[in-house]
Structure formats: structure tokens, C-alpha cells
Amino acid sequence: MMLFITFMLVVKAVSSGENIKYGQRGGSIELQAKDVSMPVTSIVWKHGTNKAAEWFDGEEVPTYFRTFHGNSRINTSTWSLTILDLQPEFDGEYSAEVNNQNAKSSETLKVIGPVEEANVVSEDCNLAESENCTLSCNGKGDGPLEYSWTWSDGKSANPMLTVQKREDGMEYTCRVSNPVSSKEDTFSVPKRAESPSNLGVKVGVPVVLVVIVAVAAGLAWWKKKKGQGQGEVTTVYSQVAGRADGDDVHANNTGNGASNNIQGETGGGENTGNKPNPTADASAGNSTGDITKAETSGGGKGPSDP
């Protein structure tokens, strides 16, 4: 920061026009003697018609007059005159008379202050319905002031600038300068407003995508649940079928056992399970035949006869 301030206060002068030289107030400036003939035996610097400083051969140091005393110096190698702490009273025409000859040229010094501010103003840029912006670069400071614009892909040397709003927005930098200093201000032009049709498309597409994703997720969940339900039904059906088959087998085994028991009891034999007993069957047949014969015999009496 100190370096910047020091730089601003040190010599800062700019030639503008053929014989005008600008110096910044509070700074310093060096004026060059014109058409110097060597060797130099004397030099007199004048401010208008008055002496500012002089040197003659044999003198150790130059002599300075009026406000230039303590604020200026002559370089005895280049014969230039440096003025320090520039103030408006140093304005005017300067000339150097070398070796007692009239000056063949002169230059005018103008002491001015720096540019104080730069400011961008726009009255229509923030309106949502506007497609264009009119930017005005305003500056404050000692003149002459110059205005210029710069942006990413262009530049302009006018104080007013009309630009078109863009989809990506844009920054425009206004530069206000005078011969001794400059200041800048940057303005961000807002993005162009979306038209209703484009806005509808941009809003509609995400909504459609969300609906599609939601439907797809719902279908996937439904298929997954459906698959689990079918598996559960199949499992229950298998269990029921298995139990039914087991009951049938148990019933068949029970029936066969009972039948065999009856046969065994009828034939006087033992129950041997599901296998038929030929001996029991034969014995039962013989017994039945004997009873039939007894009933059909005339001499026999039944158990019911008295």
C-alpha cells in the first residue's frame, strides 16, 4: 500500500498536445532544456517572464527564486529543471536560456489532481422485460477526462454503451482517466430473462423425468412384491399338498390294516399287516362250508329250536 501511494506521488507527468505537460498535484515533474549547445557556461530557467532558477560557470550551486526556492533543482549534467510538490501556482510556460541565448522553445505545465471516482449507472438494465442495457460511465476529477469500456471480447472509447443481455451475463468495466491517473468501475449485466416457452420446456422436462423415474421405481417394486407373493403361495400350496398326500397315505395304511385285521379275525389267523394270509383264508372257507352243511342237514337242529 505504501509503495502504491509513493508511486502516485513521485513524478507522474504526461505530455498532451505539442507543448503541454501535465503533472499531478503533490507529485513532481522534470522539464528538459531544448537545443542545448555544449559546453554550457550558463543556464537560466524562466517561469513565464520571471526567473525560476539559474546557474553560471564557476558557481557551486544554482540559485532559486520565489516559490521555486526549496522546491526545485537544476541537474548540472542534463540541465533539466525538477519541480517538487507540484501545486497550481506552478502552472505556466517554462523556457531555458542557455549560454545567454534566447530560448528557442518552451513548454506549458498544467498541474491537476487525480481522478477521484468512476461509476457505472444504468436505469434500464435491471428491468426484467428489457433485452438491452444502456450503461453510462461517470467520472469525477480534474480534466481533461477520458472514458473507455472493456469487456471479455471487446472495447469502446465512448462514455455511453448500449449492450444486449446475454444468457450467460457479462461484466463491463468503465475506465475514467486523465493525463495523470485513472479509476475503474465494473458493472455486471444481468442474464437475459427466459421466455415463457423456453421456461416451460426447462421446467417440463425435469418434471417428466421425475414422473418416469417414479413410475419405473413403482413397477420394479410391484414386480418384486408380486414375485415374493407367488413364492409364498407356491410354498403354502406345496405344504398343503404335502399334508394332504400324507393324510391319504396314512388313511390308506389305516384302511389296509383294519381290513387285514377283519380278515385275520374272520379266518382265525393273526393280523400280518397289509399282506393277505392264504392259510387263514382257506381255514375260513372250510369253516363256512361246515356251517352251511349243518344248516342244510335235515336232522340237525338249530340253536333256536327248543
CA distances from 272 to 115, 197, 286 (A): 129, 95, 21
Q: Which CATH number fits domain 2-112: 3.40.50.2020, 2.60.40.10, 3.30.365.10, 2.30.42.10?
A: 2.60.40.10
pTM for this model (two decimals): 0.56
Range 115-189 classified under CATH 2.60.40.10: yes
Highest mean pLDDT among 139-143, 164-168, 239-243: 139-143
Q: Give the start-to-end residue ranges of the domains of the chain.
A: 2-112, 115-189
Q: What is the pairing mode between strands 115-121 and 132-141?
A: antiparallel
Give yes or no for a contact between 74 and 60, defined as CB atoms under 8 angstroms apart: no
User: Which residues share a beta bridge with 160?
Assistant: 136
146-153 mean pLDDT:
95
| Model confidence pLDDT, tens digit, residues 234-271 | 444 455 445 545 555 444 444 444 344 434 443 444 33
User: Does 210 or 63 have the greater pLDDT score?
Assistant: 63
Amino acid identity at 67:
T
- What pLDDT was estimated at residue 219? 82
Spatial strand order in the sheet of 13-15: 13-15, 20-24, 106-112, 92-98, 42-47, 50-56, 63-64
Q: In whole angstroms, what is the distance from residue 184 CA to residue 172 CA?
A: 10
For 193-206, the pLDDT digits (tens) are: 765 554 444 445 56
Burial class (CB in 10 A: 0-12, 13-18, 19+), 203: exposed
Take residue 98 and report the three cell numbers written for it.
542557455
Confidence check: pLDDT of 112 > 50: yes
The reply to whether domains 2-112 and 115-189 share a CATH topology is yes
With cut-offs at 50, 70 and 90, classify the pLDDT of residue 35. confident
